[in-house]
Amino acid sequence: MSGPCALLQLGNLLRQSGYTFVTPTPITHQRVNERAGNAIGRTLRDAFGWNRPFEAGLLPANDEGQLIENGLLERNDERLKSTVRWSSLDNLLLAHSAFPTTQEDSVFFGPDTYRFAQTIERHLRSSRCVIKRAVDIGCGTGAGAMLIAQANPQAEVLAVDINPKALDFTRINAELAGLKNVTCHTSNVLNDVEGRFDLIVANPPYMKDSKQRAYRHGGDALGADLSVRIAQESIERLSVGGSLLLYTGVAIVEGQDPFLAAVKETLDNPGLDWHYRELDPDVFGEELLESGYENVDRIAAVELIVTRRLPA
């Protein structure tokens, strides 16, 4: 059995067990795992959500053996530890990187993903545009693409990323959900895919990361560079009536929003309607201790929605 097949089998096993897990921020994850009594996992949520070591026998012996053979479980002293995590989002179950997400090619899932999903779901409920073609830029686990594909089974939905591991996770997650209309492509933003889209969504990294890890680093302008680039390049690829949904984070400096200032000229176009708002005024406050954030007031989670106007 190949690695992808084993991961899909694990996903099916967890889904059949009724498994659910809401993934918190890394600091919350760490603090909960450090509590007395939480060193060893005893349930599936402990093993595949909290990513705690566990004793052999939590899963059927044959399944454990196949997961070890395929590198999805590894020996941790005398115990086992999952090399992936599983999170639930509405009725979806998504595989992503193990905790802590320190590797360059880590695939992140957490509170940002839930807020991003809410942005997409609100738009899908309110939009009058028929979605025939959509794309999720920097798809990660594929959460955005999957929500669109599930709500629009007639649509062609592209999931694009520069990280091969993200595309692997997206393929497995979409297959587990039974979604046949999601296709994965390697692309740097939209450079490597063609055509226009009725819906473009993105939840890019937005931190200034000293190690410049791809899943986390949004550029040197306090993490805003990538978000600015996505906004500017995506607007050019919208169909008439189509929308860009960009969920990102902004480092607010002395009360000013540098991301909005950077995209304002692009947005002030008579052919566009746009809406911008803060969804959460203060996220990932622990990052303010990192180098480069000395003058930052707070990091805000924001939502930008841009729609190319229909002809009058």
- Structure confidence by residue, pLDDT tens digits, 203-259: 999 987 655 555 454 466 677 999 999 999 999 999 999 999 999 999 999 999 999
Provide the pLDDT for residue 217. 44
Helix (H, G, I), strand (E, B) or coil at 148: helix
Determine the pLDDT at residue 103.
87
pLDDT in tens, 180-205: 999 999 999 999 999 999 999 999 99
Closest CA to 249 of 225, 265, 266: 225
Q: Which pLDDT score, from 0 to 100, does residue 221 have?
A: 61
- How far is it, in rounded angstroms, from Cα 117 to Cα 109? 11
Q: How far does CA 132 lie from the centroid of its chain? A: 22
Q: Are 198 and 132 in contact (CB under 8 A)?
A: yes
Edge-to-edge strand ranges of the sheet holding 272-280: 182-186, 156-161, 133-137, 197-202, 238-253, 296-308, 272-280
Q: Which residues contact 302 (CB under 8 A, 6 or more apart)?
A: 247, 248, 249, 250, 257, 259, 260, 276, 277, 278, 279
Domains and CATH numbers, the chain: 3-89 (no CATH), 111-308 (3.40.50.150)
Spell out, as residue ranges, where the chain has pLDDT lower than 70. 1-2, 209-221, 312
